[in-house]
Amino acid sequence: MLNIVIFGAPGSGKGTQSVLIAQKYGLVHLSTGDILRDEIAKGTTIGKFANTLISKGDLVPDDLIIKLLNQKIIEHKGFCNGFIFDGFPRTVTQAQALDEMLAQNGKKLSLMLDLQVKESMLIDRLIARGKTSGRSDDNLETIQKRLTIYHHVTAPVVDFYKSTKRFNAISNNTTVEDCFLQIEKLIDSFKLI
């Protein structure tokens, strides 16, 4: 059982690397951004509420996102090799809730991977993606807001994982392939323990 948090600023490559990790290690990829965009596409009450926040670059409230994620963990209980959590946790409250949710299901977090990318590169990658993504938050004004919230609200999550010795820094100022090589090395050495 391998449970991994992939962490990092908007555009740091969480989604891209999660797909590769899930494929190689047989994990269920849970992206809270994708879960919310799915609610928006279905036009649910949650989706309508989330859309107003996402398009401004704000976070959705902790209690809502924790409840949504918990439902997904329960849905897959007993049917997978583990999870890769992408875009969650984004606050210290969410990080504590994740440990509790995993413990309630007899699981624990193996590794936290912090994807580190230069700010100018993050902006360039998101602006480039915005040309085709159709995402309401991939425009310069909203990207800057997302980055500000990341620095103020989300970055402190790093200290939570450093204090519990599950933190691992990964540079993604490089290619997708090189970043994945670093991640594979870490996961493979973790599995040997």
- Listing DSSP states for 119-149 in one string gives HHHHHHHHHHHHHHH--TT-SHHHHHHHHHH
Q: Does 161 bind ligand AP5 (CB under 6 A)?
A: no
Closest to ligand AP5 by CB, 13 or 82: 13
Among 97, 179, 183, 187, which residue interacts with ligand AP5 (rule: CB under 6 A)? 179
Contact (Cβ atoms closer than 8 angstroms) between residue 142 and residue 36 = no
Q: Does 10 bind ligand AP5 (CB under 6 A)?
A: yes
Among 82, 84, 87, 97, which residue interacts with ligand AP5 (rule: CB under 6 A)? 87
Beta-sheet pairing, 4-8 with 28-31? unpaired
The CA-atom distances, in angstroms, between 74 and each of 104, 139, 149, 192 are: 10, 35, 29, 28
Q: Which of 135, 145, 165, 185 is catalytic?
A: 135
3-state SS class at 109: coil
Q: Does 88 bind ligand AP5 (CB under 6 A)?
A: yes
Instruction: Report in angstroms how near the CB of residue 133 gets to ligand AP5 at its nearest.
Output: 7
Instruction: Report in angstroms how near the CB of residue 87 gets to Mg ion at its nearest.
Output: 6
135 is catalytic: yes
Q: Which of 37, 125, 146, 166 is catalytic?
A: 146
The CA-atom distances, in angstroms, between 54 and each of 63, 81, 129 are: 16, 31, 16
User: Which range in 10-18, 48-56, 155-163, 179-187 contacts Mg ion by CB under 5 A?
Assistant: 10-18
- 96-102: long-range contacts at Cβ-Cβ below 8 A with a sequence spacing of 24 or more? 96/160, 97/62, 97/66, 98/5, 98/69, 101/66, 101/69, 101/70, 101/73, 102/3, 102/73
118 is catalytic: no
* Catalytic center residues: 14, 90, 129, 135, 146
Q: Which residues bind ligand AP5 (CB under 6 A)?
A: 8, 10-16, 32-33, 36, 53-54, 57-60, 65, 87-88, 90, 94, 125, 129, 137, 146, 172, 174-176, 179
Residues within the interface to Mg ion (CB under 5 A)? 14-15
